[in-house]
Amino acid sequence: MGNGYLWLLSGDGVPYRVTADNKIEHISDAQWKPEPVSAAGKDVKIYQIVGAPHAAFALDYSGAVYQFVLSSHLTIRQKVEIYSNQRWYPMIGWSSRTLPTDRASFSNEDGSCSVEMTGFHLKSDGWRWEEPWIVDMDVRKHDKEGWEYATNFAGAVWKPENGVSSFVRRRRWKRHMRYTSLEKWAELSRSSEVIVELAVGGFNVLPEQECFLFALSKEGALLRRVGINANNPDGDYWHEIDGVIEEDERAELSKICCSPSSGTLLVLTWDGRMFIRCGITREMPDGMLWSCLSPPGSRPVAFVSLGSNSVWTTSVDGKLWMGRMNCWPTNHEPIHSAVHFSEVAAGVYGMCLNEKDQLVGVSDTGVVYVREGISSAEPAGRAFLKVVERTSSEPQTWAMVSNAGTEYTNLPKHWVSDHVVIASTSHYRDTKWRKQILEDLCAVNDSCWEAFKSMNNDLGELIDDDVKSESWNHKVRAKLRLAGERRFITGTIYLGVEQLIFQANTGVTIVKPLSEVTSAVREFDAGTSTFTIRTSFCDKSLELGFSEESDRDEWHESLEQVNGFYHKLNNSDVQQRFVWRGALPV
């Protein structure tokens, strides 16, 4: 997952994402990829989106929550177990009709919950069954049919043998389900409350792929998603936590946000006041109590975002403020000292902070901005930079942006620069598309060469005078034989610019183009006491025979020179396969 993704929401309710990695390996990595949400075959318009390192959560206008789980090397898989229970009756034997005081015929392990095997549903649309129900056949704990026995269900001590005092028995059924909605949206199980706001965080205090997911309902209730972990990405259910109580009445909340690092929850009331939930930890995810946070300049707050050590707010007059603390409360002690706020700028709303306190936001005109220069020395940063929009469609108006799931400190260059720099392309050299391009180029080169030769142009005219040699038109008395034959044919060999010609004394002429030469190896034939050059062409091999070793070596050098110039000009891949070898030992 690298450094995570920047998630954006267009004005027409379509989520987009772009990588936060500083080094990208392909131009497409810099593009803003649309990730539309659909349900029952219809597109869903999204109202809010929040990001986490391993996933993103989206909220539509009906209050439904969707999750987008990023792919990883881990398989998300769960085992589901239910127990079938039976009681033994005289004259009847074993029966699934248990007594009213017994556990149900199908239940969980301790019998406290009744379940039905045929009515056992998957948790959400993101899960799929791997196999049908099967009996757990552990011979160490069960008999050969999977049963274990006891005298009674209450206080049962289970044994694998059916004894004279065995009046009840149970058998465990198991089934596996796999989470299959990776890299696509899946709806979470709904709450009885209509959700209108989401907040996610706690990435530094929770194990990998876990997070605190909070929600605000239409009725003003605060909810937390229970059970989110690496093997259960969508959690189990929504749990209500204590709201802000003032003068024995629950304060009406308008917005919520969560620290990406610590998971500290901050809420905003309808009249612009801020409250922080103290004491949120992994062991106590609901926190302990609420503490009021003084607003900047005593002005009501319209929007707020919480980071690791900073909080950014937009007041009702449109001004942007930044406040900083060394740490947010994680115990039961309230905040006694007010956070010191300083005015930064104006015109940016819909802000979001990541765990490095890096800020992104959207202007009132729907343009995405990122704050440059934020560091421990300059927590407020230096300036807002416009994020370069890279979509395949026309420029859009953006509703919100979330960088909560990113881990960058230095701004990704492709966010703020029109020019995209590719980090490395070395691993693309063996890809199929690149090989196809090279093959096409070679085919074009061959076609051009054939067209050039058809114009009856002299290749020698293309060679500089300083590399021309008289050996290009060379002849010598020699012998020739085809591969596999024993006898040589006497004649004369001519070496031209493009061809090697052998004219036998019998009148037979053999012509071979130099473009087809693949190797020329110097050898010695002891049977005929002949110095030879075994020359291989694309279709056959010939042996050129010389009576003197000096003649053979001179011709070998000439043949090498001509062939080298030819392939250099023709740029043929045959040159890469060409072999020149000295004389083999006799």
Residue at which a domain ends, from 179, 199, 215: 179
Which pLDDT belongs to residue 464?
42
Joined together, the tokens standing for residue 304 give 């707020």
Instruction: Give a yes or no: residue 434 inside a domain.
Output: no
Task: Locate the DSSP E strands across 235-386.
Answer: 237-241, 245-246, 249-250, 253-258, 265-269, 274-278, 289-293, 301-306, 310-315, 319-324, 340-346, 348-353, 359-363, 368-372, 383-386
> DSSP character for 316?
T
Which pLDDT belongs to residue 428?
53
By mean pLDDT, which of 256-270, 325-339, 348-362, 500-514 is the weakest?
A: 325-339
Q: How far apart are CA 213 and CA 237, in angstroms?
A: 11
pLDDT bin (cut points 50, 70, 90) of residue 468 is: very low
> DSSP character for 101?
T
Do the beta carbons of residue 570 and residue 562 sit within 8 Å?
A: no
- How are strands ordered across the β-sheet holding 265-269? 253-258, 265-269, 274-278, 289-293
pLDDT at 253 over 60: yes
By mean pLDDT, which of 14-23, 186-195, 527-536 is the weakest?
A: 527-536
pLDDT at 453 over 70: no
Which pLDDT belongs to residue 454?
65
Q: How far apart are CA 43 and CA 339, in angstroms?
A: 43
DSSP for 505-523 reads TTS-EEEEEGGGEEEEEEE
Q: What is the phi/psi pair of residue 433, to 5°?
A: -65, -35
342 and 271, same structural domain? yes
Question: Per residue in 206-250, pLDDT tens?
Answer: 998 899 999 999 999 999 999 999 999 999 999 999 888 776 677
- Beta bridge partners, 372, equal 383
Instruction: Give a yes or no: residue 291 inside a domain.
Output: yes
132 and 38, same structural domain? no
Which pLDDT belongs to residue 423?
59
Joined together, the tokens standing for residue 381 give 């940063």
Joined together, the tokens standing for residue 476 give 């010598």
Q: How far apart are CA 437 and CA 388, in angstroms?
A: 31
Instruction: Give a yes or no: residue 330 inside a domain.
Output: yes
Task: Supply the mean pLDDT for the chain.
Answer: 84
Burial of residue 70 (CB within 10 Å: 0-12, 13-18, 19+) is buried
Q: How far apart are CA 270 and CA 215, in angstroms?
A: 16
pLDDT bin (cut points 50, 70, 90) of residue 456 is: low
> What's the total number of domains in the chain?
3
Q: Name the percent of the chain lying above pLDDT 70.
A: 87
Q: What is the phi/psi pair of residue 299, to 5°?
A: -100, 140
Joined together, the tokens standing for residue 284 give 């106590």
pLDDT at 503 over 70: yes
Which pLDDT belongs to residue 557?
81
pLDDT bin (cut points 50, 70, 90) of residue 152 is: very high
Using H for helix, E for strand and C for coil, what is the string for 181-212? CECCEEECCCCCCCEEEEEEECCCCCCCCCCE
96 and 48, same structural domain? no
In this structure, the number of other CB atoms found within 10 A of the CB of residue 48 comes to 21
The CATH number covering residue 282 comes to 2.120.10.80
306 and 199, same structural domain? yes
Instruction: Give a yes or no: residue 93 inside a domain.
Output: yes
Residue from 155, 146, 204 nearest 173 by CA: 146
339, 493, 531 from 563: Cα distances, Å: 82, 16, 21
191 and 157, same structural domain? no
Instruction: Give a yes or no: residue 204 inside a domain.
Output: yes
Residue from 465, 528, 535 nearest 493 by CA: 535
Pairing of strands 579-581, 517-525: parallel
Residue from 168, 290, 134, 263 nearest 207 by CA: 263
Task: Locate the DSSP E strands across 124-167.
Answer: 127-129, 134-135, 147-150
pLDDT bin (cut points 50, 70, 90) of residue 448 is: confident
What 3-state DSSP class applies to 298?
Answer: helix
Instruction: Give a yes or no: residue 518 inside a domain.
Output: yes
Q: How far apart are CA 87 and CA 44, in angstroms?
A: 51
Q: How far apart are CA 76 and CA 164, in angstroms?
A: 44
Quick one: average pLDDT of 39-66? 94
pLDDT at 459 over 80: no
Pairing of strands 274-278, 289-293: antiparallel
Residue at which a domain ends, from 162, 179, 196: 179
More confident: 529 or 198: 198
Question: Per residue in 356-378, pLDDT tens?
Answer: 999 999 998 999 999 999 998 89
Residue from 449, 350, 354 nearest 6 by CA: 354
Question: Per residue in 332-341, pLDDT tens?
Answer: 454 544 578 8
196 and 280, same structural domain? yes
pLDDT bin (cut points 50, 70, 90) of residue 138 is: confident
By mean pLDDT, which of 127-141, 198-212, 572-586 is the weakest?
A: 572-586
Joined together, the tokens standing for residue 153 give 């269900």
Which pLDDT belongs to residue 471?
42
What 3-state DSSP class applies to 443?
Answer: helix
Q: How far apart are CA 494 and CA 520, in angstroms?
A: 16
pLDDT bin (cut points 50, 70, 90) of residue 476 is: confident
Amino acid letter, residue 257? C
Which pLDDT belongs to residue 473?
62
Which pLDDT belongs to residue 581?
47
Instruction: Give a yes or no: residue 439 inside a domain.
Output: no
81 and 65, same structural domain? no
pLDDT bin (cut points 50, 70, 90) of residue 543 is: confident
252 and 117, same structural domain? no
pLDDT bin (cut points 50, 70, 90) of residue 409 is: confident
Joined together, the tokens standing for residue 38 give 């659909």
Residue at which a domain ends, from 121, 149, 179: 179
Q: How far apart are CA 357 and CA 101, in angstroms?
A: 58
By mean pLDDT, which of 147-161, 419-433, 458-472 is the weakest?
A: 458-472
Quick one: average pLDDT of 493-507? 79
237 and 317, same structural domain? yes
Residue ranges making up the domain that contains 511: 475-574
The CATH number covering residue 551 comes to 2.30.29.30
323 and 199, same structural domain? yes
End-to-end Cα separation, the chain, in angstroms = 63
pLDDT bin (cut points 50, 70, 90) of residue 572 is: very low
Instruction: Give a yes or no: residue 455 inside a domain.
Output: no
Question: Per residue in 53-99, pLDDT tens?
Answer: 999 999 999 999 999 999 887 789 999 999 999 999 998 999 999 99
Q: How far apart are CA 325 and CA 379, in angstroms?
A: 11
Long-range interactions of 347-351: CB distance < 8 A, separation 24+: 347/318, 347/320, 348/314, 348/320, 348/384, 349/302, 349/303, 349/314, 350/303, 350/399, 350/400, 350/401, 351/303, 351/305, 351/312, 351/314, 351/320
107 and 64, same structural domain? no
561 and 495, same structural domain? yes
Which pLDDT belongs to residue 19?
93
pLDDT at 395 over 90: no
Amino acid letter, residue 327? C
Burial of residue 335 (CB within 10 Å: 0-12, 13-18, 19+) is middle
- Beta bridge partners, 545, equal 479, 532
Question: Per residue in 414-440, pLDDT tens?
Answer: 899 887 766 555 455 556 777 777 778
